[in-house]
Amino acid sequence: MSLIQAESAQIAPRNVVDMVFGAAVMGTVGTLIGWFMGGSAIPIAGALGVVLGVVVGWLGGRRFLVSILIGTVLGGLLAWLVAGFEKISWGAGAGAAMGGFLGVQASMLLDVWAERKQGTPRADSQPEGSGKALGEHGE
């Protein structure tokens, strides 16, 4: 009889897809960062990107990863149109950073909007009747 019983943890298929998507997106970004840093940094930065992408995918950050992907593509296209072919990688990197930032902000706004739509009270608001009325000073 064993005192410790291991439970088999199963990952949902959607999480597996998100993890693979995260590894692809963040691994690509990590590889590009390693390329900017120098040839010897490519494997290290790429591996770190893959690990971070898997974690973000496991945590369910699909909207975040999509915003990075969109930012990368749009940043690369804009850099190509404005500065030429040799600056695509710089524009893609800047676009990925801005896409990630805007994705986080948009995600927070969508979550707040969904809470308001459901009518869930916010944690920092007081329920009616729990506070003192205006003008009451406890005297």
SS3 59: coil
Angular region, 131: left φ>0, alpha ψ -120 to 50, beta rest: beta
Q: What angle do CA 134, 136, 138 make, to 5 degrees?
A: 150
Per residue in 14-64, pLDDT (tens digit) is 889 999 999 999 998 888 888 888 889 999 999 999 999 999 999 888 888
CB of 27 closer than 8 Å to CB of 70: no
Alpha carbon distance 1, 123 (integer Å): 47
Is residue 133 very low, low, confident or very high in pLDDT (cuts 50, 70, 90)?
low
Domain boundaries, the chain: 13-60, 62-122
CB of 71 closer than 8 Å to CB of 125: no
